[in-house]
């Protein structure tokens, strides 16, 4: 018993020694290659490429970070990857064509958007079972969950709405029209706002959770970039409520926004057709998946610089980070 504990302590010590600072692991889904790239935060290099099902897009970690869930839309399921061994260890049912999903804050359920079937599916992770589904608008995609887990927000791309779903009753309570082709919904860390990007509309709508109305619409104007190329998709909001980052698709930019004033402060030039992003655990770096240039941009948020682009698989789509 004692020797086991000692061994564990020694092992932990080794790990610490091997990972000075705040090392973490970055996972990127590659839609075209049917793979997930694993990138080490210290070396900023791909250390592993994991074969998964067809058309991997949405990607997120389990609550204890031991598992990585990947939507493999063309195989109508979720692949489950062990984040230590980088092996696919199982699958979860998802309903048809899962695209994007969100983990409930208790870690029990995955809320999954079924793009082809106008519904949101709820899967119990431990039971490996679908527990219920909710009918929503045409082409559901974006999925946001309130910090208390009580409200789920789904966006539907052709219906152009944010649907607010009460997770106790699993019923829609509010429908809010937003800009054309909404792609992602994110709650602020205090749960007071939901930010919704509209790819074709070229805007981000900020919705008040209390009133369930749009309180502000953020517009973008990038010098030298045609209006059509300004297509907001991925949204990342910092925990401290100060900054927001919005991936702008084919304009190859990530917008930096003041979360309090909604003012667009700056744009980072990244790779081509930037889609989704993830922040490092310390929120000092941002990683963006750039679909057309097939790379991952690394942005240093403290110095405000794009540090590097890391070649990954083809059509990188989503990013998840394990601390």
Partner 1 sequence: MLFSRLGRKLTAGALAVFGIWTAVAATAGSAAAQDTLEVPIVYVTRDGPPHIPLTLLEPVAEDLGVQGARLGLSDNATTGRFMGHAYELREVTVPEDGSLAKTLRPVLNDGARLIVADLRADDLLALAALDAASDALIVNARSYQDRLRTRACNANVLHAAPSNAMLTDALAQYLQRKRWTEVFLVVGRTDQDKRWAESFMRAAKRFRLNVVARKTWTFDYANRRDESGAAIAQEEVTRFTRGVDDYDVLVVADPADKFGEYLPHRTADPRPVAGTQGLRTTVWSRVHEQWGGTQLQNRFEEQAGRFMTPRDYTNWLAVRAIGEAVSRTETTAPAELKAFMRGNDFELQGYKGIKHTVRSWNNQLRHRILLAGPRILVSVSPQPGFLHERTELDTLGYDKPESRCGFD
Q: Does 216 bind partner 1 (CB under 8 A)?
A: no
Residue 204, interface with partner 1 (CB under 8 A)? Answer: no
Q: Are 323 and 63 in contact (CB under 8 A)?
A: no
Q: Contact 269/290 with Cβ under 8 angstroms?
A: no
Closest alpha carbon to 110 in 56, 69, 159, 147: 69
Residues 49, 158, 272, 293: which binds partner 1 (CB under 8 A)? 158
Member of 51, 84, 171, 239 binding partner 1 (CB under 8 A): 171
The minimum distance between CB 49 and partner 1, in angstroms, equals 25
Check residue 316 for interaction with partner 1 (CB under 8 A).
Answer: no
Interface with partner 1 (CB under 8 A), residue from 177, 210, 269, 307: 177
What CA–CA distances, in Å, run from 226 to 88, 183, 229, 302, 306? Answer: 42, 20, 6, 29, 23
226 binds partner 1 (CB under 8 A): yes
CB of 71 to partner 1, least distance (A): 15
DSSP H or E segment with residue 246: strand 243-247
The Cα–Cα gap between 40 and 108 comes to: 28
Phi, psi of 15 (to 5 degrees): -60, -45
Q: Which residues of 99-121 are buried (b: 16+ CB within 10 A; e: fewer)?
A: bbbbbbeeebbbbbbbbebbbbb
189 near partner 1 (CB under 8 A): no
* Complex with partner 1: residue 180 or 293, whichever CB lies closer: 180
d(CA 252, CA 266): 13
x/- track of binding to partner 1 for residues 65-84 (CB under 8 A): --------------------
Contact 181, 234 (CB under 8 A): no
Measure CA of the first residue to CA of the last residue in the chain; give whole Å: 29
Q: Which stretch binds partner 1 (CB under 8 A): 37-45, 173-181, 301-309, 314-322?
A: 173-181
Among 70, 113, 161, 299, the residue binding partner 1 under the rule CB under 8 A is 161
157 binds partner 1 (CB under 8 A): yes
Q: Is 201 in the site for partner 1 (CB under 8 A)?
A: yes
| Contact set for partner 1, span 113-142 (CB under 8 A) | 115-116, 118, 134-135, 137-139
Find the part of the chain contacting partner 1 (CB under 8 A) among 14-22, 23-31, 157-165, 216-224: 157-165
Binding of residue 110 to partner 1 (CB under 8 A)? no
The percent of the chain in helix, strand and coil, each rounded to the nearest 5, is 5, 55, 40
- Beta-bridged to residue 187, according to DSSP, are 194
By CB under 8 A, is residue 224 in contact with partner 1? no
Which among 233, 239, 229, 226 is positioned nearest to 204, based on CA atoms? Answer: 233
Contact code string over 249-288 relative to partner 1, x by CB under 8 A = -x--------------------------------------
Binding site for partner 1 (CB under 8 A): 115-116, 118, 134-135, 137-139, 157-161, 163, 171-175, 177, 179-181, 200-202, 226-228, 231, 250
């Amino acid at each position: 018993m004692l020797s086991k504990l000692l061994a564990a302590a020694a092992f932990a010590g080794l790990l610490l020694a091997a990972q000075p600072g705040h090392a973490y692991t970055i996972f990127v889904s590659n839609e075209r290659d049917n793979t997930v790239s694993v990138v080490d935060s210290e070396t900023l290099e791909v250390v592993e490429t994991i074969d998964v099902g067809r058309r991997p897009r949405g990607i997120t970690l389990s609550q204890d970070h031991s598992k990585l869930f990947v939507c493999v839309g063309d195989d109508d399921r979720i692949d489950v990857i062990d984040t230590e061994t980088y092996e696919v260890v199982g699958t979860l049912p998802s309903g048809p064509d899962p695209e994007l999903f969100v983990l409930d804050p208790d870690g029990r359920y995955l809320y999954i958007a079924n793009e082809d079937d106008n519904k949101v599916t709820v899967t119990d992770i431990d039971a490996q079972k679908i527990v219920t589904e909710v009918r929503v608008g045409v082409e559901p995609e974006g999925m946001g969950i309130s910090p208390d887990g009580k409200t789920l927000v789904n966006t539907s791309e052709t219906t152009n709405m944010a649907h607010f779903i009460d997770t106790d009753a699993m019923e829609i309570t509010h429908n809010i029209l937003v800009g054309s082709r909404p792609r992602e919904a994110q709650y602020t860390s205090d749960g007071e706002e939901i930010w919704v990007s509209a790819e074709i509309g070229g805007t981000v709508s900020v919705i008040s959770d209390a009133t369930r109305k749009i309180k502000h619409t953020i517009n973008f104007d990038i010098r030298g970039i045609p209006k059509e190329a300004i297509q907001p998709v991925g949204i990342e909001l910092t925990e401290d409520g100060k900054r927001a980052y919005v991936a702008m698709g084919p304009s190859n930019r990530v917008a930096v926004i003041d979360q309090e004033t909604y003012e667009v402060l700056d744009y980072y030039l990244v790779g081509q057709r930037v889609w989704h992003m993830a922040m490092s655990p310390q929120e000092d770096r941002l990683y963006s998946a750039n679909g057309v240039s097939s790379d991952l941009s690394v942005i240093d948020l403290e110095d405000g610089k794009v540090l590097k682009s890391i070649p990954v698989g083809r059509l990188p789509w989503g990013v998840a980070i394990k601390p």
